[in-house]
Amino acid sequence: MNILTVENTYKAYGDFKALIDINLSIPEGSIFGLLGPNGAGKTTLIRIITQIIAADQGSIKINDEPLNIKHIQTIGYLPEERGLYKKMKVGEHLLYLAQLKGLSKKEAMEQIKIWFRKFDIAGWWGKKVEDLSKGMQQKIQFIITVLHKPKLIILDEPFSGFDPINVNIIKDEILNLAKEGNTIIFSTHRMESVEELCDHIVLINKAEIILEGSKKTIKEDYKTNTFEVEHKKLISELDDGFDLKNQEQLEDGFYRTSIKIVNGKSPNELLKTLIDKVEVHSFIEKIPSMNEIFISTVQGGDHA
Amino acid sequence: MHKIGLIIRREYLTRVRKKSFIIMSLLGPILFGLVGVIPIWLASREGDEKVIEVLDESGYFRGKFEGTGSVSFSYLDNSLDDAKSDLNSNNSYGLLFIPKLDLDNPTGITFFAENNPSIEIQVSLERFLKNEIENIKLDQSGIDQEKLDKIKTDIDLNIINITDKGEKEGNVGVATAVGYIAAMLIYFFIFLYGVQTLRGVIEEKTSRIVEVIISSVKPFQLMMGKIIGIGAVGLTQLLLWVILTFVIYQGVLTFYDIDISKSKQIELAQNTDATPNADADMTEIFEKINTINFPLMLGTFLFYFLGAYLFYGSLFAAVGSAVDNDADAQQFQLPITLPLILSIVLLTAILRDPHGSLAFWASIIPFTSPVVMMMRMPFDPPVWHIVLSMISLVIGFIFTTWLAGRIYRIGILMHGAKVNYKILFKWLMMRN
């Protein structure tokens, strides 16, 4: 079951095309990475899904239902550009935004209490926002996003400006929310968090989707059959079918070498060849990182 | 709508709870009250008995000076030097010395006092002496007092307005004052609260809260909620001012036991015609104030107050949405504030001819109509002028709100963009 389906969506600002023919579907309960360089169209797509702006063409469905006003309550959105009313008190602020999302005052109070306990901030109710530190304000912003128990949570660069401790707190909460069956769309440039959290990704560049799928399949697709070996003694030459890519010297006479297997030979055959020549200390397949995939596809797209 | 209600509530409560609002609400009426009360209080203070000593060597004026409630005269017979040296000890207000006079060239009349006499007393003494000497000269030329009284003529122009409902008495002075106050209040409030709307929008933009909010409500709802909420703050402030001013005014009057009609009686005895009529004058003014249709005034005031605020408030909101800070707002504020200032400038011309074509058009065009129409209201403009002006204001604010809404929905999402009129126009035309 897909919680969100985007079909043939197109959006232009004047002459500038912000999104061209976007198609994607997000399975319920997944943590979905929406990736792309600055200005690729991520925020535009998010703003369309959150009904802040309307698409020029195409259809958006949430749980197979065309996007409409009642979906505001289904979605929790943490924008990249985010802030709070500085003069308001924390409790009133949360209450106000929760009610704007459609919660009754009573429901809102209950939820606020739950989150206050979870983040251990019970004493903050009467504090003015401007008296909170930046990290504290970010916690409040995160609570605002999830207070109305949205099934679809959209986080645009959620970790920007967070200190490492808060990053971990929020990361744990994101994983918890996913475990509870909520779907998370996660828009970011920070590939290490994508690596860690996401199970599906879509990569947008210049208003178009250039890569989409589960993290595992994408990585499989981008594997180059390259192995990384740590060994003693220099490798001077290899048999046919093995391509020596790169060799660097480590301390104490150790070397690290990347070897690509070509024309159908198996990793075991490579290992056998190596054992004859050098003393092998480690042998591992090189899986491309999301960062590498990101850079190579975006740049590849540029050259194309 | 429920969500607009929530927004209105927040905008209203956060502002009404502010210290500055409470201080303004209290200080305003105290200032207004003082402006009203101080002159009366000062006038009544002069009610303390002042004795002016008169040393008349000419003999023309003995017994002629008539005291009023606050000033009395006593006549001396000793020498000028004695009288002068007694002045310090006997607590009198001053000494009026009249030497032997040549009536054709009356010089040497002197007022001795420890402090400068008030301008009022100086003027009345001069006027009295002048009149008295003229009378003596007239008398000497053979015109007797009876003839003289017959020659003197007093004119008070009665003004009657002819309306459908018959004739009624009007008064230009009172109407002018009432119109001015109403017009200035509207002008003042549009400025004060229009700028608050602008600031509020800029604050939402710069604090970056706006995107969170418009993922819950439509930009138009947010804009309207803000405009209405701040308008309600304005109304509250106005109401508080009116009530508190009235309470303070009444309170002070009661406390000092001041009778308003006394304040008019600071003239000296020379004005023999006016003094006995002072109470009658006051009654007349009150009667004339009563000829103004206050329920109608109040009703139209509220209408124009709200209409003008909605008309201008949405324009201020649009400007706020297009810029990132107060400084950038200046250039776009000018075209909004210009017509407002113009309407104040026009008031003098409107007063000269409250039913002329300038007055008519200025009270129909919604940019100037609220201020100008309030100025015209006490002069009983034709009903169809009022109705047309109101309809045009309603159409006007529907239009400006629509216009503002279109700029606002795009503007609030823009950060750091340098905006000019061309870009604003593009936003206006942009599809949703």
What are the residue ranges spanned by the domains of chain B? 2-40+169-429, 48-148
Residue scoring higher pLDDT (A49 or B255): A49
Residues in chain B whose Cβ is within 8 Å of chain A: 3, 6-7, 10, 14, 203-204, 206-209, 211-217, 413, 415, 426, 430-432
Residue A287 is inside which H or E element, if any? none
CA distances from B182 to A303, B347, B370, B394 (A): 70, 12, 10, 19
Query: Are A99 and B6 inside 8 Å of each other by CB?
Result: yes
Amino acid occupying residue A160: S
Candidates B212, B408, B414, B431: best to mutate against A (most CBs of A within 10 A) is B212
Query: Are B7 and A100 inside 8 Å of each other by CB?
Result: yes
Residue A186, domain extent: 2-220
Q: Rounded CA gap, A95 and A116, in Å?
A: 13
Neighboring chain A residues of B216 at a CB cutoff of 8 Å: 72, 97, 100-102
Average pLDDT over residues A14-37: 89
Enter the tokens of residue B186.
């509207």
Neighbours of B367 (CB within 10 A): 21
Amino acid occupying residue B103: L
Q: Is residue A302 part of a domain?
A: no
Which residue reads 């003197």 in tokens? B152
Which residue reads 């959150």 in tokens? A50
Q: Rounded CA gap, B242 and B43, in Å?
A: 24
Q: Are residues A182 and A243 in the same domain?
A: no
Which residue reads 């009172």 in tokens? B174
Neighboring chain B residues of A86 at a CB cutoff of 8 Å: 207
**Closest residue in chain A to residue B219, using alpha carbons only:** A52
Closest of A216, A170, A210, A223 to residue A193, by C-alpha: A170
pLDDT class for A219, splitting at 50, 70, 90? Answer: confident
What's the pLDDT tens digit per position in B368-410? 999 999 888 888 888 899 999 999 999 999 999 999 988 998 8
* CATH 1.10.760.10 is the classification of domain B48-148: no
Query: Are A100 and B3 inside 8 Å of each other by CB?
Result: yes
**Closest residue in chain B to residue A12, using alpha carbons only:** B431
Q: Which residue from B6, B211, B214 is facing A82, i.e. has the nearest CB? A: B211
Q: Are residues A49 and A133 in the same domain?
A: yes
CA torsion, points B30, B36, B39, B45, in degrees to nearest 10?
-70
Q: Rounded CA gap, A278 and A231, in Å?
A: 6
Q: Rounded CA gap, B79 and B96, in Å?
A: 13
Q: Are residues A159 and A258 in the same domain?
A: no
pLDDT class for A60, splitting at 50, 70, 90? Answer: very high
Candidates A38, A72, A100: best to mutate against B (most CBs of B within 10 A) is A100
Q: Is residue A301 part of a domain?
A: no
Please check the confidence at residue B238 and state whether its pLDDT lies above 60: yes
Burial A187-216 (b: 16+ CB within 10 A, else e): bbebbebbeebbebbbbbbbbbbbbeeebe
Please check the confidence at residue B137 and state whether its pLDDT lies above 80: yes
Closest of A34, A278, A19 to residue A153, by C-alpha: A34
Neighboring chain A residues of B430 at a CB cutoff of 8 Å: 13-14
- Assess A42–B contact: CB distance below 8 Å, yes or no: no
Burial class (CB in 10 A: 0-12, 13-18, 19+), A276: exposed
DSSP letter for B154, please. -
Q: Which residue from A51, A102, A144 is facing B212, i.e. has the nearest CB? A: A144
Contact B260, B289 (CB under 8 A): no
Q: Is residue A155 part of a domain?
A: yes
Distance from CA of B10 to the nearest CA of A (A): 8
Q: How far is CA B127 from the centre of its chain?
A: 31
Query: Are A83 and B209 inside 8 Å of each other by CB?
Result: yes
**Chain A / chain B CB contacts < 8 angstroms:** 62
Query: Are B214 and A86 inside 8 Å of each other by CB?
Result: no
Q: Are residues A101 and A241 in the same domain?
A: no
Please check the confidence at residue B168 and state whether its pLDDT lies above 60: no
Q: Which residue from A75, A77, A86 is facing B207, i.e. has the nearest CB? A: A86
Average pLDDT over residues B264-274: 43
What backbone torsions phi and psi does residue A10 show, to the nearest 5 degrees? -135, 135
Q: Which residue from B14, B415, B431 is facing A87, i.e. has the nearest CB? A: B14
Q: Are residues A111 and A36 in the same domain?
A: yes
Query: DSSP secondary structure string, B374-415?
Result: HHHGGG---HHHHHHHHHHHHHHHHHHHHHHHHHHHHHTT--
Query: Are B6 and A50 inside 8 Å of each other by CB?
Result: no
Neighboring chain B residues of A72 at a CB cutoff of 8 Å: 215-216
Distance from CA of A37 to the nearest CA of B (A): 19
pLDDT at residue number B198: 93
Neighboring chain B residues of A75 at a CB cutoff of 8 Å: 215
Say how many domains are in chain A.
2
pLDDT at residue number B111: 86
Query: Are A75 and B215 inside 8 Å of each other by CB?
Result: yes
**Closest residue in chain B to residue A47, using alpha carbons only:** B215
Distance from CA of B310 to the nearest CA of A (A): 24
pLDDT at residue number B290: 62
Q: Are residues A29 and A170 in the same domain?
A: yes
Contact A32, A198 (CB under 8 A): yes
Q: Are residues A191 and A82 in the same domain?
A: yes
What's the pLDDT tens digit per position in B88-136? 777 788 888 888 888 888 888 888 887 777 777 888 888 888 888 888 8
Q: Is residue A293 part of a domain?
A: no
pLDDT at residue number B223: 93
Query: Are B6 and A100 inside 8 Å of each other by CB?
Result: yes
Query: Are B207 and A51 inside 8 Å of each other by CB?
Result: no
Residues 224-283 of A with CB under 8 A from B: none
Amino acid occupying residue A250: L
Distance from CA of A200 to the nearest CA of B (A): 25
Under 8 Å CB-to-CB from B106, ≥6 apart: which residues? B129, B133
- Assess A79–B contact: CB distance below 8 Å, yes or no: yes
Q: Is residue A126 part of a domain?
A: yes
Q: Is residue A6 part of a domain?
A: yes
Neighboring chain B residues of A54 at a CB cutoff of 8 Å: 432
Indicate the pairing of strand A2-13 with strand A208-214.
unpaired
Query: Are A85 and B213 inside 8 Å of each other by CB?
Result: no
What's the pLDDT tens digit per position in B210-231? 888 988 998 999 999 999 999 9
**Bridge partner residues of A226 (DSSP):** A260
Enter the tokens of residue A104.
């009754």
Q: Rounded CA gap, B397 and B315, in Å?
A: 9
Closest of A6, A62, A3, A7 to residue A29, by C-alpha: A3
pLDDT at residue number B37: 67
Q: Which residue from A14, A51, A96 is facing B10, i.e. has the nearest CB? A: A96
pLDDT at residue number A15: 83
Which residue reads 């109470």 in tokens? B279
Q: Are residues A202 and A182 in the same domain?
A: yes
Q: Is residue A238 part of a domain?
A: yes
Angle at the Cα of B59 from the Cα atoms of B54 and B61, rounded to 5 degrees:
55
Enter the tokens of residue A187.
């828009």
Contact A76, A145 (CB under 8 A): yes
Q: Are residues A77 and A124 in the same domain?
A: yes
Q: Is residue A298 part of a domain?
A: no
Neighboring chain A residues of B10 at a CB cutoff of 8 Å: 96
Neighboring chain B residues of A53 at a CB cutoff of 8 Å: 413, 432
Residue scoring higher pLDDT (A154 or B126): A154
Could you give the percent of chain A with pLDDT greater than 90? Answer: 39
Enter the tokens of residue A206.
């210049």
The SS3 of residue A280 is strand
Query: Are A82 and B212 inside 8 Å of each other by CB?
Result: yes
CATH of residue A138: 3.40.50.300
Query: Are A86 and B212 inside 8 Å of each other by CB?
Result: no
Distance from CA of B172 to the nearest CA of A (A): 49
pLDDT class for A165, splitting at 50, 70, 90? Answer: confident
- Assess A39–B contact: CB distance below 8 Å, yes or no: no
Closest of B404, B24, B42 to residue B223, by C-alpha: B404
Amino acid occupying residue B251: G
What's the pLDDT tens digit per position in A88-104? 999 999 999 999 998 99
Distance from CA of B325 to the nearest CA of A (A): 16
Q: Are residues A165 and A214 in the same domain?
A: yes
CATH of residue A240: 3.30.70
Neighboring chain A residues of B214 at a CB cutoff of 8 Å: 52
- Assess A126–B contact: CB distance below 8 Å, yes or no: no
ipTM field: 0.82
CA distances from A48 to A43, A208, A278, B418 (A): 9, 15, 58, 24
Q: Are residues A108 and A7 in the same domain?
A: yes
Indicate the pairing of strand A31-35 with strand B160-163.
unpaired
Please check the confidence at residue B262 and state whether its pLDDT lies above 60: no
Query: DSSP secondary structure string, A119-131?
Result: TT-GGGTTSBGGG
Output Rg (C-alpha) for chain A, integer angstroms: 24
Contact A31, A174 (CB under 8 A): yes
